[in-house]
A and B are shown apart, each in its own frame.
Chain A
């Protein structure tokens, strides 16, 4: 064993290896997602209903640094919990909101809704709301990249629940055999999920206590990171991307978070109103019922604290970013609400490509 290198506390890096502008952009995106989703829950409560939906609150520090570790030409394939990746890849919040409300101006003309919103032009070709469905597809896209000799890679974005499906296991095995340039990013949000007890989904039900062991059993290297640690996610994804790009084959990255309590019931809720930035530096000001979550388990507030601690911005700068994204979200809501529904005859178009 090599001797343990001594690292003074001050030298320990807490932020991703990015320039200052990159680091601020991450915070900007995280806040955009948080405010977008909080507003979405209020829209759903006000009605009319736009059907069953899922929010990305509490997982911003997984998807946003993960996608920042990729190149814009890399492909990502999401599931039902997709809004965060779309915003992170630069989808227009107004067009995403319009899609969720089923409007003509939506990303997919109202055909997809929340469950299937996608943006092929942003490297998000397809969003599957079938648990496990996206995993082999992402790996297949990586196979194409490999055969074309490009250095593009592909990322499957899925929840812990997908490891219960046979399709995921089959995809891991084939990806390993064929060494395709894919990253399996599993967002494990199952811990402390109230699940069925709250009338929600049961927490993930797998006999494997370490999800990475499923990947390792077929020769896919697996790492676990704390999903509230922006740097750890960024680093793990950068390493996995490097491996994929240099013909090292697939990697399984498990990012763990404590599920945001508002996502425990079957239908999302805002159990204690909106997130306030000051919860980051005055945790005791958070509402009692979510105090622990905001203080210890919310990656976004943790990242904000880390940025403040590194003096990369001050509280006023953070407030300015927040007010900026809030007005972006309000503009998105106005745009979506003022947009028309598609004309009924458009229902018959797009069954096959090239029809609209």
Chain B
């Protein structure tokens, strides 16, 4: 199922293959520009796709080239999101950008009670090709009202696909898939991902829904992480490697649909699981992945599962308090070390 990024083109370096080194923001804008060019029915409502950082200027080119198909709406989330849903019901392929993830709460009825239900209520007669895009999570000083990670609440809503890229190559390959999927899709970005650099194929291919990526293969412990916490986990893996712990990092990339097989195969191999995620601890993304693993392969687990998540408190402003809650590489590494040293489950 899953292809390891490290398996692709084993013989050639990224340079030899003609891959380009791009920032996440550049890769995202390239994907949007391509969709704009190829698909005259592609419409964007909202134009803060890249957030508040200096990279936001990259999007201006798209905005200026397609003024009729990049609409700057009023600050009226429930209204413009509903416009997106209606336009998608009438044949357009729409990306509604809510900018900061917390603003999706202003649009919740249109997302969870209209778009998500529409196909089902029609008995399968209606498709709603719409993407809800936002930047989630701890961004540095966002405080309680600008730091949400609503993807877990949205996972609790049947009828929404959920995609969470974590690298330039992934966002480049996943956004076109989201738009072309023909279904309401929540596309989760993170402002801390925007400056992340990585190789993007010269001829990018669409990355299908429900295909996980093994970001690092290893023998000892499986770490499953999503979105920016994949980057945090990669840095933890490096530290751990220098200590002789060989971590496998699985990035589901989409949670609806979820590539269970890749996760379960990895856990079967290592017998140890750490799930990392920036949603809050209770009923979060990590909770569901942990539940699936314990339902499906409890037998293979040498130690109980650990979750590294944001505790169940609103996000505080102070940098000291914000980083206390963060899923830092240090917290991830500590969890992995604990999995290696704790007492194994006694199965008699």
Do B106 and A165 touch (CB < 8 A)?
yes
Chain A contacts for B8, CB-based, 8 A: none
How many residues on chain B are close to A (CB under 8 Å)? 35
Stretch at the interface among B114-122, B127-135, B141-149, B181-189: B141-149
- Within 8 Å by CB of B141, from A49, A111, A128, lies A49
Chain B contacts for A344, CB-based, 8 A: 320-321, 324
A32-80 CB contacts (< 8 Å) to partner B: 48-52
**Count of A-B contacts judged by CB separation below 8 Å:** 114
Do A205 and B74 touch (CB < 8 A)?
yes
B317 interface residue per 8 A CB criterion = yes
Chain A contacts for B319, CB-based, 8 A: 48, 50, 102, 341
Determine the interface band of chain A, counting residues with CB < 8 A from chain B: 35 or more
Do B312 and A111 touch (CB < 8 A)?
no
Shortest Cβ distance from A274 into chain B, in angstroms?
Answer: 25
B314 interface residue per 8 A CB criterion = yes
B73 interface residue per 8 A CB criterion = yes
Chain A contacts for B252, CB-based, 8 A: none
Whether A341 touches B72, Cβ cut-off 8 Å, given contacts A115-B143, A130-B145, is no
> Please, how many angstroms separate the alpha-carbon atoms of A346 and B56 in the complex?
34
> Please, how many angstroms separate the alpha-carbon atoms of A48 and B139 in the complex?
14
Do B318 and A103 touch (CB < 8 A)?
yes
Shortest Cβ distance from A180 into chain B, in angstroms?
Answer: 23
Closest to A160 in B: B75
A166 interface residue per 8 A CB criterion = yes
Do A102 and B142 touch (CB < 8 A)?
no
A94-121 toward B: CB 8 Å interface, digit per residue (1/0)? 0000010011001000111111100000
Stretch at the interface among A20-28, A196-204, A307-315: A196-204
B71-121 CB contacts (< 8 Å) to partner A: 72-79, 102-103, 106
Chain B contacts for A342, CB-based, 8 A: 318, 320-321
B57 interface residue per 8 A CB criterion = yes
Do A351 and B142 touch (CB < 8 A)?
no
| Chain A binding surface SS class | loop
B14 interface residue per 8 A CB criterion = no
Chain B contacts for A103, CB-based, 8 A: 318
> Please, how many angstroms separate the alpha-carbon atoms of A288 and B140 in the complex?
36
A330-356 toward B: CB 8 Å interface, digit per residue (1/0)? 000000000001101111100100000
A141-173 toward B: CB 8 Å interface, digit per residue (1/0)? 000000000000000000001101111000000
B173 interface residue per 8 A CB criterion = no
Do B317 and A51 touch (CB < 8 A)?
yes
Do B78 and A116 touch (CB < 8 A)?
no
- Within 8 Å by CB of A348, from B57, B102, B103, B313, lies B313
B52 interface residue per 8 A CB criterion = yes
Chain A contacts for B77, CB-based, 8 A: 165
B325 interface residue per 8 A CB criterion = yes
A277 interface residue per 8 A CB criterion = no
Chain A contacts for B144, CB-based, 8 A: 111-112, 116
> Please, how many angstroms separate the alpha-carbon atoms of A99 and B141 in the complex?
12
| Chain B binding surface SS class | loop
B304 interface residue per 8 A CB criterion = no
> Please, how many angstroms separate the alpha-carbon atoms of A111 and B318 in the complex?
6
A269-299 toward B: CB 8 Å interface, digit per residue (1/0)? 0000000000000000000000000000000
B165-191 toward A: CB 8 Å interface, digit per residue (1/0)? 000000000000000000000000000
Chain B contacts for A205, CB-based, 8 A: 72-75
> Please, how many angstroms separate the alpha-carbon atoms of A204 and B316 in the complex?
30
Closest to B142 in A: A51
Whether A111 touches B317, Cβ cut-off 8 Å, given contacts A116-B144, A347-B325, is yes
Chain B contacts for A181, CB-based, 8 A: none
Do B141 and A113 touch (CB < 8 A)?
yes
B218 interface residue per 8 A CB criterion = no
Do A347 and B57 touch (CB < 8 A)?
no
A247 interface residue per 8 A CB criterion = no
Chain B contacts for A128, CB-based, 8 A: 145
B48-66 toward A: CB 8 Å interface, digit per residue (1/0)? 0000100011000000000
> Please, how many angstroms separate the alpha-carbon atoms of A231 and B76 in the complex?
33
Do A351 and B141 touch (CB < 8 A)?
no
A323 interface residue per 8 A CB criterion = no
B198 interface residue per 8 A CB criterion = no
Do A348 and B311 touch (CB < 8 A)?
yes
**Most chain A beta-carbon contacts within 10 A, residue among B56, B77, B141:** B141
Do B313 and A110 touch (CB < 8 A)?
no
Shortest Cβ distance from A172 into chain B, in angstroms?
Answer: 15
Whether A102 touches B57, Cβ cut-off 8 Å, given contacts A52-B141, A115-B146, A164-B74, is no
> Please, how many angstroms separate the alpha-carbon atoms of A129 and B143 in the complex?
10
Do B78 and A102 touch (CB < 8 A)?
no
Chain B contacts for A327, CB-based, 8 A: none
Chain A contacts for B140, CB-based, 8 A: 49, 51
Shortest Cβ distance from B181 into chain A, in angstroms?
Answer: 29
- Within 8 Å by CB of B317, from A102, A199, A266, A351, lies A102
A303-324 CB contacts (< 8 Å) to partner B: none
Shortest Cβ distance from B50 into chain A, in angstroms?
Answer: 11
Shortest Cβ distance from B149 into chain A, in angstroms?
Answer: 17
Chain B contacts for A250, CB-based, 8 A: none
Shortest Cβ distance from B256 into chain A, in angstroms?
Answer: 27
> Please, how many angstroms separate the alpha-carbon atoms of A106 and B316 in the complex?
13
Chain B contacts for A131, CB-based, 8 A: 75
Chain B contacts for A102, CB-based, 8 A: 141, 317-321
Whether A351 touches B75, Cβ cut-off 8 Å, given contacts A199-B56, A341-B318, is no
> Please, how many angstroms separate the alpha-carbon atoms of A206 and B318 in the complex?
35
Shortest Cβ distance from A97 into chain B, in angstroms?
Answer: 13
Do A111 and B321 touch (CB < 8 A)?
yes
Do B106 and A130 touch (CB < 8 A)?
yes
**Most chain A beta-carbon contacts within 10 A, residue among B56, B103, B319:** B319
> Please, how many angstroms separate the alpha-carbon atoms of A318 and B57 in the complex?
43
Ordered by A's residue number, 19 sampled pairs between the chains whose C-beta atoms are within 8 Å are A49-B140, A51-B139, A102-B320, A110-B316, A110-B317, A114-B141, A128-B145, A162-B75, A164-B74, A164-B76, A166-B76, A166-B79, A205-B73, A341-B320, A342-B320, A344-B324, A347-B311, A348-B311, A348-B313
For the complex of A and B, the 4 pairs showing the least CB-CB separation, nearest first, are: A51-B141, A113-B317, A102-B318, A110-B318
